[in-house]
Amino acid sequence: MAEKNYYTVDPLGKLMCMKCRVPLEKGKAKFLYLDNGFPVELPVCPRCGFVYVPEELALGKVQAVERALEDK
């Protein structure tokens, strides 16, 4: 069974790792906060492993989850 992903961002070939000079790919990542983990799919550099968190995601979903956990 496929593992649940809380969120998926596809780089659609528009993002490039500056260090490795290769396009980012959709890859497996995980957000961690106050001892809670959330599997997600984000743009990741296939070579160095850089995980990119786009602004919309950071200020949207990520912030909402942070707020909710902070009051747990």
Q: Which of residues 43-62 bind Zn ion (CB under 5 A)?
A: 45, 47-48, 50
Q: With the CA atoms of 69, 63, 22 and 18 taken in that order, what torsion angle do they form, in degrees rounded to the nearest 10?
A: -110
Q: Does 17 participate in binding Zn ion (rule CB under 5 A)? A: yes
The interface partner of residue 1, options being Zn ion, another protein, none and the CB cut-off 5 to 8 Å by kind, is none
Q: Does 15 participate in binding Zn ion (rule CB under 5 A)? A: no
Cβ pair 44, 35 in contact under 8 A: no
The interface partner of residue 4, options being Zn ion, another protein, none and the CB cut-off 5 to 8 Å by kind, is none
